[in-house]
A and B are shown apart, each in its own frame.
Chain A
Amino acid sequence: MGLLTDPSAGQSKIIKILMKYYSKLCIILYLGGIIAFCVLAYRPFNSETYFSENALLPGLVRSEYRDGNTPHTYYRELLDEMEKYESKLPYSWLLAKFKQIGLDTYTHNFTLNYPLGKSQKFTGKNVYGILRAARAASTESVVLSVPYRPPLSIHETTAPAIAIMLAFAKFANKEKYWAKDIIFLVTEHEQLGMQAWLEAYHGISGGKEGTLNAGDMRGRAGAIQAAINLELHSIEIGEIDIKIEGLNGQLPNLDLFNLATRMCAKEGVSHTFKNRIPRRYTDPLKDWKYTFQTMLSMVATQATGIPNGNHGLFYRFGIQALTLEGFANSKDRLGFITIGRILEGTFRSLNNLLERFHQSFFFYLLPSSDRYVSIGLYIPTIAALAATLFIKAYAKWCLLHDEEENKENKDELDKPQTIDETGDHNPITRESFTLKQWEEKLKTDTTQLNQKSKVHLGHICAVFVISHLVGFGLKELPTYFAKIGVQYGYTTESSIYIGLALSTFLIILIPIFVKKPSYSSMIVLDIFALLEMGNLLICIAMYNISLAMFCGVLYIPFALLLSPTRCRLCSIVQKTCWILLHPFVLATITVFTYTFFVFWNELVDQILYKALSATQQAIMFSIVDSMVYGNWLFSVACTIMTSNWICFWYMCQYRPMIEEITKKTETSKQKVD
């Protein structure tokens, strides 16, 4: 095995074959990767979920919860109480209830200093009660949380969830088998309250320092092992949707998801994933289509990196969590008792845990709630996509290398002839040429010859570094855009949008006028950029496969085809495509098309207005997310994707001379022959 030896690998047979067929290979890998990814949803290619953690003992105990009246009483009381507070948490009522049940009760205050534009402050209050386990010294705990939604909220109510939570707390406090404390938490302001509570609990700041002031809290209950976020929209539940996608595309341990599905199944509640019931068709194509749609729906949510529920914020702290969202439907009408029994079963299983969740999968895709695709299966597909970039980069490098070598060879061959020629014309001068003079002449001649094809490594590195500095700048600038915009009376979102649009325009414009040294330098830069993109995809795939897949499918074909060309039409086409792929332009286009599809029946100018404001808000929210929650989508888009984009953009601006192109084609032809 010539693993480490063979420095002249460029000459080996495999490499020659690779050089010959690399473009075809790239196409095969690209298409193969995409197809393989799609096929993963097909039943024979994925596997059925199973419990890896033995200690969970799911559903082994007989449910004892059978109190339907208490939650109804709580529910009615809460509805009365909610009328008094239109936009605030009825915390005095909640505190009183928690105290009556016998829990250690605490409140937690937090402040959000709005990071953009004018300095604004928002405050909120969370309420929580801790059930102290009889069998442990408050070293570990599990969380049951409900986001409180006031009557004025745009989201559906969660009052039934609070009622059943209180009833379950009352039930659980009577039991002596608890070995982990249970924290019953009611948060305010959706994810903000949850983030603040978690930050205060762990004494850290997840986003930008000073943005979310989480404050301090009195009561704690050790290390949190797991969390269930409960959202019930009706007192009679038809189906329960299990949500798992978290911040930055993180997912909970598959065992916890399995536990939730098993508990729902045990109590006879139809459970869904992405609002789709696990279904089985006899027709393989139909079956694949159904599961693929479910998987694609998960991929779409995961790729955004925005949690689709309060559970998504727990993952950063190593806490496994999920949301159970209950909807009413016309088919089934299951009351509080069933939900109480699901909670009882889930928490007793979690109570059984000896160790933290560490078995089973943390990285997976779900084509259905009872089947999973493991990381071992999906990584090869994204690796195939990324491989095209590496192959292309390698091929370009080899071509460049061969070109230089050929040229050297050619020079060596040419020189004696010229000497002979000069000798024929003027034999005296030939004799008078000393060896030293010859050497000098050779040096000057070769430098002149190579001037055009020389690789200006310093220049390339400068371009590479500057483009990344620009990316970093772009990440930091929006705060200043907002500040300046506010002074001139613009809204925060429009000033950020205009600022970013202007910077994008400059980013597109400036590389056109910067000097480009030589064709081979551009090729080297291209290689750098391809390698960077390949690495980026692999790195993202380790964390968030969906985002990596999305980027890969979109960027790879254009990144592969992009190269300096003399053909004007080709040049224009590839440049336009590449502009459309600029992250900022891409975001704008995506939101615009989405708006067109949603409001297709409205007037064009109205749609345009709506689309523009939606884009502005989308960008502003992604910035706010990165500052409050530590979502890195905006940071990655700025610092790496845009920087990488600039490198490609700069490279394709070069208009090569005819000799350079012909030389290249000649050499490649020679190689093939």
Chain B
Amino acid sequence: MAVVFILLCYFQLSLALQYSDKFTEELVLKPLVQDQIYAHFQFTTIWNVDARSRDLFQSHLFSRALSEVIVRHNVQELHISLTAGLWNYETWGYPIVDSAPGAEVWVWFKDDTNDIDTNWKQLTNSLSGLLCASLNQIDNTNSINPDISFAPTGIISNTLNSSFVRYATLPREIVCTENLTPWKKLLPCDSKLGLATLLNAGPIHNTRYHSLSIHLRPICRNAQCDLASIELTQSVDLVYDFTILGTRNWSLRKLFGQGIMNSCPLADTSTIYVETTNNDTNIFHLSPTPDEYLISTRGGFSSQFAKYVVKERPMTIAASYADKQMYTVNIPPPLYANQYKIGYGQQKGGLVTKIYNNHWAPIDVVVLQNLPWYIPIYLHTLKIISNGTPMKPQKLIYKPGKMREKAHSLELMLRLPAKSTTSIKFYFDYVFLKWQEYPPDANHGFYIGSAIISGHLPLGRNYTGIPQDGSTYASSFNASRKNYFVQIRTEPIVITLPTPDFSMPYNVICLACTVVALAFGPLHNITTKRLVLKVNSDNLLTKLKKFGRSLFCSKKL
């Protein structure tokens, strides 16, 4: 993978700016095929500073708390997501930013970093404090360094060396307001002005899916790419359900509890896009009238957006549906996957990852399985079956884990045949853990993280992602490329390891002690004593000796 990424920058930066950083905020609202609406907030800060410099402390809009962390731990790229719920690829299409349920972190360290493992451990601890999440639980026992799944998304100066990447996920992490508040503090306007005022804890947790993420990467400052900048993208993805809201006629007030009071004065642009592509089947009327309508053609599929520019006055947007709901046939996206456990009992189990390719041509994907150390897999049981016929992976990278030290990782490069369902199946053992290793609520089960399927889609249907050379959602309009990169996350799995009854140890100790006490005496007697015939000698000398001994002993006592 010795490829140098040189990325073109399309945006022109006005050098006349007093400060070298720029902040944009965007909100995308997209009604999904069923009863849901997808809201994506994106706050992008671009700072024209050399990412390699150690002096990142004089920031203007960029969060100082974050810059300190990245300098200290020599971070080149940082991707964090905190997610509750599962993105339903089959019916919702692709999100703008993919993230796995729970907490997920992956980081590229700079190639002059010496001790990556220590830096990784320290970094996750710092991030844990920054976001109030249990990221401090990440260490080498649950981290992997995948070879091909996670390429850097930004620019790099040297050849790629996958030993500088670390990936970890905490599927059990519960995401709540305590993560949202510190996350909002990283924004230039905090939550006081601009689009961020819409992020109120109550309403945004009444969703089917919500995800907070932070992505940091170095990008090109200009088209020549002779200078680099740092791009920080903070995004929130929410999926509201009309059945939970109680009505299909949504408005900003209904979704977020309030309208926008004022724009953020620090933001260069502050825009709201409402996708109106499906407005011919389920017709809704937007009020107020949008500032303009945009048509974006991308990868052979065009979509329509209504654009609102947030101004320095209160505003809200409302949509009202004209007719009764029409049930349209859902066309699933070209590539999606799910994961499940097979088998029963607490001895042996299997894990199946099913990948669906609905496209008419083969698609190349990389599948990454990230398994905790307590799930030792049998690689010889690995079976890849595509539409009923066995298949061989083009490349298989298996990094076996170590008990209590290192997680297992399995990367498979596959060419999914056209219109196929491919299942990857392998078996594993349930192991006994030491009794301190069980978490609280031990009978809840143990998690296996999401499998990650990365691939390049040849067409832009259902695709909403931002191109690699762009920074804002606006850069995805008319951004037709050769292919479109997606990284799908499956659902995590809960398995039940053999769990002791933790109320029992007391009883067991009592019982075991009694049994040992009863058995020990006789056993000790048999093994140490020998029955010897003793001649009873009654001469005077021995009697005296005996008498003396008894006297001596009694005195001693």
Interface residues of A (CB under 8 A from B): 1-5, 99-100, 102, 104, 132, 134-140, 173-176, 202-204, 220, 222-223, 316-318, 354-356, 358
* A5, B526: Cβ atoms closer than 8 Å: yes
B427 to chain A, nearest CB (A): 11
Q: B26 contacts the other chain (Cβ, under 8 Å)? A: no
Chain B residue numbers with a CB within 8 Å of A173 are: 243
Question: Can you spell out 17 A-B residue pairs with CB atoms less than 8 angstroms apart?
Answer: A102-B34, A104-B90, A104-B91, A134-B208, A136-B85, A139-B491, A202-B344, A203-B343, A203-B350, A204-B344, A220-B338, A220-B340, A222-B340, A222-B493, A222-B494, A223-B445, A223-B496
Residues in B485-500 with C-beta less than 8 Å from chain A: 491-496, 499
* A223, B495: Cβ atoms closer than 8 Å: yes
Please pick, from A134, A316, A355, the residue contacting B444 in the complex, using a CB distance under 8 A. A355
Chain B residue numbers with a CB within 8 Å of A135 are: 84-85
Residues in B325-375 with C-beta less than 8 Å from chain A: 327, 338, 340-345, 350, 352
Q: B314 contacts the other chain (Cβ, under 8 Å)? A: no
Chain A residue numbers with a CB within 8 Å of B88 are: 104, 132
* B526, A4: Cβ atoms closer than 8 Å: yes
Rounded to whole angstroms, the CA-CA distance of A174 and B445 in the bound complex is: 28
* A203, B342: Cβ atoms closer than 8 Å: yes
Chain A residue numbers with a CB within 8 Å of B101 are: 137, 139
Rounded to whole angstroms, the CA-CA distance of A287 and B252 in the bound complex is: 65
A422 to chain B, nearest CB (A): 37
Q: B171 contacts the other chain (Cβ, under 8 Å)? A: yes
Rounded to whole angstroms, the CA-CA distance of A138 and B494 in the bound complex is: 10
Rounded to whole angstroms, the CA-CA distance of A19 and B161 in the bound complex is: 82
Residues in B479-517 with C-beta less than 8 Å from chain A: 491-496, 499, 501
Please pick, from A2, A223, A358, the residue contacting B499 in the complex, using a CB distance under 8 A. A358
Q: B246 contacts the other chain (Cβ, under 8 Å)? A: yes
Q: B519 contacts the other chain (Cβ, under 8 Å)? A: yes
Chain A residue numbers with a CB within 8 Å of B341 are: 223
B491 to chain A, nearest CB (A): 5
List the A residue with the shortest CB-CB distance to B35: A102
Q: In the A-B complex, list the 6 residue pairs whose CB atoms are closest, starting with the nearest.
A: A203-B342, A137-B101, A355-B443, A137-B86, A4-B522, A358-B443
Interface residues of B (CB under 8 A from A): 34-35, 83-86, 88, 90-91, 101-102, 171, 206-208, 241, 243-244, 246, 327, 338, 340-345, 350, 352, 441-445, 447, 491-496, 499, 501, 518-519, 521-523, 525-526
Rounded to whole angstroms, the CA-CA distance of A173 and B36 in the bound complex is: 13
List the B residue with the shortest CB-CB distance to A170: B243
Which of B86, B101, B208, B525 gathers the greatest number of chain A CB atoms within 10 Å? B86
With A1-B518, A203-B350 in contact, is A318–B344 under 8 Å at CB?
yes
* B34, A137: Cβ atoms closer than 8 Å: no
Rounded to whole angstroms, the CA-CA distance of A294 and B35 in the bound complex is: 50
Rounded to whole angstroms, the CA-CA distance of A433 and B327 in the bound complex is: 114
With A102-B34, A174-B246 in contact, is A204–B491 under 8 Å at CB?
no
* B522, A356: Cβ atoms closer than 8 Å: no
List the A residue with the shortest CB-CB distance to B444: A355
Chain A residue numbers with a CB within 8 Å of B91 are: 104
* B343, A204: Cβ atoms closer than 8 Å: yes
Chain A residue numbers with a CB within 8 Å of B340 are: 203, 220, 222
A109 to chain B, nearest CB (A): 15
Rounded to whole angstroms, the CA-CA distance of A23 and B205 in the bound complex is: 73
Chain B residue numbers with a CB within 8 Å of A3 are: 518-519, 522
Chain B residue numbers with a CB within 8 Å of A100 are: 327
Please pick, from B34, B208, B442, the residue contacting A355 in the complex, using a CB distance under 8 A. B442
Chain A residue numbers with a CB within 8 Å of B501 are: 358
List the B residue with the shortest CB-CB distance to A136: B85
Chain B residue numbers with a CB within 8 Å of A140 are: 494
* A134, B519: Cβ atoms closer than 8 Å: no
B90 to chain A, nearest CB (A): 8
With A176-B206, A223-B496, A356-B496 in contact, is A139–B447 under 8 Å at CB?
yes
* B207, A134: Cβ atoms closer than 8 Å: yes
With A220-B340, A318-B344 in contact, is A356–B445 under 8 Å at CB?
yes
A474 to chain B, nearest CB (A): 28
Chain B residue numbers with a CB within 8 Å of A174 are: 243-244, 246
Which of B91, B241, B494 gathers the greatest number of chain A CB atoms within 10 Å? B494
Chain B residue numbers with a CB within 8 Å of A358 are: 443, 499, 501
* B343, A202: Cβ atoms closer than 8 Å: yes
Rounded to whole angstroms, the CA-CA distance of A467 and B58 in the bound complex is: 89
* A138, B491: Cβ atoms closer than 8 Å: yes
Rounded to whole angstroms, the CA-CA distance of A140 and B493 in the bound complex is: 9
* B522, A204: Cβ atoms closer than 8 Å: no
Rounded to whole angstroms, the CA-CA distance of A102 and B35 in the bound complex is: 7
Chain A residue numbers with a CB within 8 Å of B243 are: 102, 173-174
With A5-B522, A176-B244 in contact, is A202–B84 under 8 Å at CB?
no
* B522, A2: Cβ atoms closer than 8 Å: yes
Chain A residue numbers with a CB within 8 Å of B519 are: 3-4
* B522, A223: Cβ atoms closer than 8 Å: no
Chain A residue numbers with a CB within 8 Å of B35 are: 102
Rounded to whole angstroms, the CA-CA distance of A222 and B102 in the bound complex is: 15
Chain A residue numbers with a CB within 8 Å of B493 are: 139, 222-223
* A204, B342: Cβ atoms closer than 8 Å: yes
Chain B residue numbers with a CB within 8 Å of A104 are: 88, 90-91
Chain A residue numbers with a CB within 8 Å of B102 are: 137
Rounded to whole angstroms, the CA-CA distance of A411 and B34 in the bound complex is: 97
Given A102-B34, A137-B84, A174-B246, 5 more pairs with CB closer than 8 A: A4-B522, A137-B85, A174-B243, A222-B494, A316-B344
List the A residue with the shortest CB-CB distance to B207: A134
Rounded to whole angstroms, the CA-CA distance of A587 and B244 in the bound complex is: 57
List the A residue with the shortest CB-CB distance to B356: A218
Rounded to whole angstroms, the CA-CA distance of A356 and B442 in the bound complex is: 9
Please pick, from A2, A99, A132, A139, the residue contacting B494 in the complex, using a CB distance under 8 A. A139
With A134-B208, A137-B101, A222-B491 in contact, is A356–B344 under 8 Å at CB?
no
List the A residue with the shortest CB-CB distance to B502: A358
Rounded to whole angstroms, the CA-CA distance of A283 and B13 in the bound complex is: 95
* A132, B342: Cβ atoms closer than 8 Å: no
A52 to chain B, nearest CB (A): 10
Rounded to whole angstroms, the CA-CA distance of A358 and B90 in the bound complex is: 35
Chain A residue numbers with a CB within 8 Å of B338 are: 220
A650 to chain B, nearest CB (A): 38
Chain A residue numbers with a CB within 8 Å of B494 are: 139-140, 222-223
Chain A residue numbers with a CB within 8 Å of B521 are: 1
Chain B residue numbers with a CB within 8 Å of A2 are: 522
Chain B residue numbers with a CB within 8 Å of A1 are: 518, 521-522
A634 to chain B, nearest CB (A): 22
Rounded to whole angstroms, the CA-CA distance of A139 and B85 in the bound complex is: 10
List the B residue with the shortest CB-CB distance to A222: B494
Rounded to whole angstroms, the CA-CA distance of A134 and B207 in the bound complex is: 6
Rounded to whole angstroms, the CA-CA distance of A251 and B412 in the bound complex is: 43
Chain A residue numbers with a CB within 8 Å of B441 are: 354-355
Rounded to whole angstroms, the CA-CA distance of A222 and B208 in the bound complex is: 17
Rounded to whole angstroms, the CA-CA distance of A316 and B492 in the bound complex is: 23
Rounded to whole angstroms, the CA-CA distance of A167 and B503 in the bound complex is: 41
List the A residue with the shortest CB-CB distance to B246: A174
List the B residue with the shortest CB-CB distance to A175: B244
A658 to chain B, nearest CB (A): 44
Rounded to whole angstroms, the CA-CA distance of A316 and B525 in the bound complex is: 48
* A137, B491: Cβ atoms closer than 8 Å: yes
Rounded to whole angstroms, the CA-CA distance of A393 and B223 in the bound complex is: 95
With A1-B521, A5-B526, A223-B341 in contact, is A139–B492 under 8 Å at CB?
yes
